[in-house]
Structure 1
Amino acid sequence: MEFTIPWSSLLGGMLMGSAGLLLLLFNGKIAGISGILGGLISPGRNDFLWRLLFIIGMIGGGWLSMQILGITFPETYNASTLIILLAGLLVGIGAGVGNGCTSGHGICGIGRLSIRSIVATCVFMAIAGITVFIRLHMV
């Protein structure tokens, strides 16, 4: 396996961090995707529009990047539809139990030096590593 410098990952991380910082500075909100999406489903006062625009921008930005860079979605998956749906459900449950997702804790929480977010992100990454190990070596 050859290591290549992940320029697109570096740029993506910088853009996500910048978006999180701008949302915090100008709107006083944390850019945690699960919280933004959850608030979009059951909005509070004056919350709907910025949440909707954030989600549209996130999806639109991904689509635009695919068009500009010529990236396509993978057409085959190594898992059944049931496994993919179950994984999505477990991620949603985990975000609820963890009071946020990796974007909220990992990008915004660590940037604010939140101990809870640092611990949560370490747990997320440990579980991800264990999951990959099990998937590759035990299943």
Structure 2
Amino acid sequence: MDWIASLQGLVGGVLIGLSAVWLMGALGRIAGISGIIGNLITQRPKGDSAWRIAFLFGLVSGPLLVMAMGGGLGNVADAPGAVIGAPAGGVPLMLIAGLLVGLGTGLGSGCTSGHGVCGLARLSPRSMAATGVFLLTAVATVYVMRHMIGGGV
């Protein structure tokens, strides 16, 4: 077992939880990334963009700070020693997948950060159902990609 990777995951999870609690306590807002970005783009409600920009800046600057301090991105590729591998299905498939995720967050009224982190912590029945659907969809997608299409993903 890779204890360092486990501790990094634990620390990352704690930081995500703390940011969600801080946002809820300080501003009464849910830390749902799709809602933060979506409402920033559409400017609803008016004059509510400063905290959204600050939150997104923190989301992006955290990993950049870790990299600047020599921490790297970790091994998110299949090969040992690699940092980031090529998209498994190619760029066009990745773009289609991103579009479908965006549509799904619109249909589900949120994403895994809003429903899975914040909603489950508040024991929201709607978020429990949405997170269950997210997980079942992920399992079905992996099954189809690996066993029916045979993409080796």
TM-score normalised by the chain length of structure 2: 0.83
- Give the total of aligned pairs: 137
Residue 75 of structure 1: CA displacement?
4.1
Among 85, 95, 99, which residue is 2:95 paired with? 85
Greater relative contact order (Cα 8 A, min sep 6): structure 1 or 2? 1
Counterpart amino acid of residue 77 in structure 1: P
CA distance in 1, matches of 2:93, 2:144: 14
Identical amino acids, percent of aligned pairs: 43
1:56 equivalent in structure 2 = 57
1:103 equivalent in structure 2 = 113
2:130 equivalent in structure 1 = 120
CA distance in 1, matches of 2:62, 2:129: 30
Among 73, 84, 93, which residue is 1:71 paired with? 73
Counterpart amino acid of residue 68 in structure 2: Q
Q: Give the unaligned 5+ runs of structure 2.
A: 75-82
CA distance in 2, matches of 1:118, 1:62: 29
Residue 12 of structure 1: CA displacement?
1.1
Counterpart amino acid of residue 78 in structure 1: A
Q: Give the unaligned 5+ runs of structure 1.
A: none
